[in-house]
Amino acid sequence: MLYVITGPPAAGKTSWIEAHAKARDVVIDLDRITSALSGPGAPQWNQNALHLRIAHRARYAAMDEALQHVDRLDVYLIHTMPSALALGKYKRLKARIVVVDPGREIVMARIAAMRSTDMERVATRWYNARSRLPRPAMPQASRTW
């Protein structure tokens, strides 16, 4: 089964996966990949353009391989802002889409505590894009469709 976990930065997507995934499952998380490819002492939220470019390529390779095996294992994919094209692909794969969103105020407070203007910009983009899409009628903290 494919689980696509989406939501703004600092919403709790990784925490949601940690609460649901098992050790044998595959977790594809750009933050973890970037961290794994960064040297010692690099910030956890590493926005270095070159590191991100390399991490994105590794993420796409992992996705390509993992998606070939969703009939035999569970794959958890964090995709903060999937495009309509990506959502169509996930729908064809019968993915379970989980939206983790504790609310804009909580997200922005968490980001402020991290002192990351990059994350603030991404969260603002996420909420602006989200306001233009229909929302499933589900609880605020985590929505699934």
Q: Please give the model's pTM, rounded to 2 decimal places.
A: 0.84
CA 142 to mean position of chain CA atoms: 13
- 2-144 folds as Rossmann fold (3.40.50)
Burial zone of 92 (CB within 10 Å; 0-12 exposed, 13-18 middle, 19+ buried): exposed
Task: Give me the mean pLDDT over the 69-74 stretch.
Answer: 93
Task: Give me the mean pLDDT over the 23-48 stretch.
Answer: 83
**Which carries the bigger pLDDT value, residue 138 or residue 9?**
9
> How far apart are alpha carbons 7 and 127 in whole angstroms?
9
The pLDDT score that the predictor gives to residue 45 is: 66
Band of the pLDDT at 114, cuts 50, 70, 90?
confident
